[in-house]
Structure 1
Amino acid sequence: MSYPLKLKDQNFQLHASGAVFWKEKSCLLISDVHLGKVTHFRKFGAALPRHAVHKNYLLLDRLVSYYQPFEICFLGDLFHSSLNKEWVLFENWMARTPSKITLITGNHDIIAPEKFESLGVEQFEELTTENFLLTHHPETRNGYYNLCGHIHPAVRLQGAGRQRLKLPCFFKTEDQMILPAFGEFTGSYTLKPSDKDEVYVIAGEEVIKV
């Protein structure tokens, strides 16, 4: 279900949900949840199942129960669009979640900061801690290892008989790791790793280095 990884002498676990648990900080890192997307697209006629709205919250509850993190840091695009009916579900989730909640603002996070502040969510453009730079968009900065999202990374794997499979992944370079999108119906962007890159694909309930 998770894959242990050491970065800059810190211990992380890559979870099959797309989340990363930072052990020393007791911090759960999650990117690109895109809450409200299903409701947003259903409003405009997209044939998405209504029950899909609840999947993200159920998975978030499972992660909180499993890791019991002191903090959950969302690396941008927590909400997909402006306020809709899913905000009430988010309020309910916040009310039952004991962890401190932090949001790194993403390009889709257009809801007024005051709405998040009223729920106790701290919001930042970026954060630096322990030689790590937490952002939404991938960044390069001397002296820091970047943990980010935005790209929704995936890779194509090819097997015998010309079989091809596209899987979401954690995409790691020498100074950066891009987290996969956490949310349902978020899509993905195929990246081509170099010889120096490391790729950890999500295959069902497993994280596998390829």
Structure 2
Amino acid sequence: MKISINNQNFVLHQSGAAFWEEKKMLLISDLHLGKIAHFRKHGMAIPEKAVLENFARLNEVLNLFDSETIIFLGDLFHSKINNEWDFFADWTKTVSQQIILVEGNHDIISKKNYADLNIEIYEELIIDDFLLTHHPTTRENFFNFCGHIHPGIKLKGLGRQFLSLSCFFRKPHQLIFPSFGEFTGNFYLIPEENDQVYAITKEEVIEIKR
């Protein structure tokens, strides 16, 4: 789905990524690499192949869009370094795009580790009149791109039917990105009058009308 914000065009993809057409930037939030390995270490029966699913989805959106920069809006890695870091380091060697990380609360790995991979790190990033952060932030004269919340929406059908979906959650001056990573969960939001919800299905992104 293509949307316009401040005269700029963005393509929302069902993976949870968004492509900023004019800047050729791919925006992704809350990948939480390392979380699956963390779960497996503590005895949870998650298939090892699930580790590679995040990288397959990353490659899918990279192949789809003509991006020059990848910006991760925080929580790129879930916690301390584990064996998923090696997968990530190898993956960075396969991409030509500049990689930027806007720090999230889970990003506790030493900046030197990211510097060794030529990844730039910022607490926040301002591009024209857009403010890129991890936590939702309100600042006058800026439109905020952020993550952290892992937004979702619950839809009620006829009878007792319910459907829960991840979503891009848009407020008048903010777009909260869904979690890109596997096994991250959702926080379900209730839209207010001026909010817009772009729900994610396996095949597409659809706007949910109130």
With normalisation by structure 2, the TM-score equals: 0.98
Q: Which runs of 4+ in 1 moved over 2 A?
A: none
Report the counterpart of residue 161 of structure 2 in structure 1. Answer: 163
Which of 63, 66, 69 in structure 2 is aligned with 1:65?
A: 63
Instruction: Name the SS of the counterpart of 2:82 in structure 1.
Output: coil
The answer to whether 1:50 aligns with 2:42 is no
| Partner deviation per Cα, 1:98-155 (whole Å, 9 max, x = no partner) | 0000000000001000000011000000001110000000000000000000000001
Alignment of 1:123-138 (within 5 A): 123-138=121-136
Instruction: Name the SS of the counterpart of 1:46 in structure 2.
Output: coil
Report the counterpart of residue 117 of structure 2 in structure 1. Answer: 119
Instruction: Name the SS of the counterpart of 1:77 in structure 2.
Output: coil
Report the counterpart of residue 147 of structure 1 in structure 2. Answer: 145
| Partner deviation per Cα, 1:39-66 (whole Å, 9 max, x = no partner) | 0110011111111000000111111111
Report the counterpart of residue 190 of structure 2 in structure 1. Answer: 192
- Which stretch has the larger CA shift, 7-16 or 160-169? 160-169
Alignment of 1:84-123 (within 5 A): 84-123=82-121
Instruction: Name the SS of the counterpart of 1:47 in structure 2.
Output: coil
**Structure 1 gap segments, 5+ residues each:** none
User: C-alpha separation between the residues in 1 aligned to 2:78 and 2:15?
Assistant: 19
**Structure 2 gap segments, 5+ residues each:** none
TM-superposed CA distance for 1:160, in Å, is: 1.0
Instruction: Name the SS of the counterpart of 1:40 in structure 2.
Output: helix
Report the counterpart of residue 12 of structure 2 in structure 1. Answer: 14
Report the counterpart of residue 78 of structure 2 in structure 1. Answer: 80
User: C-alpha separation between the residues in 1 aligned to 2:12 and 2:166?
Assistant: 13
TM-superposed CA distance for 1:32, in Å, is: 0.2
TM-superposed CA distance for 1:162, in Å, is: 2.3
Which of 186, 203, 206 in structure 1 is aligned with 2:204?
A: 206
The amino acid of 1:148's aligned partner reads C
The amino acid of 1:155's aligned partner reads I
User: C-alpha separation between the residues in 1 aligned to 2:142 and 2:66?
Assistant: 27
Instruction: Name the SS of the counterpart of 1:38 in structure 2.
Output: helix
User: C-alpha separation between the residues in 2 aligned to 1:179 and 1:146?
Assistant: 10
TM-superposed CA distance for 1:68, in Å, is: 2.7
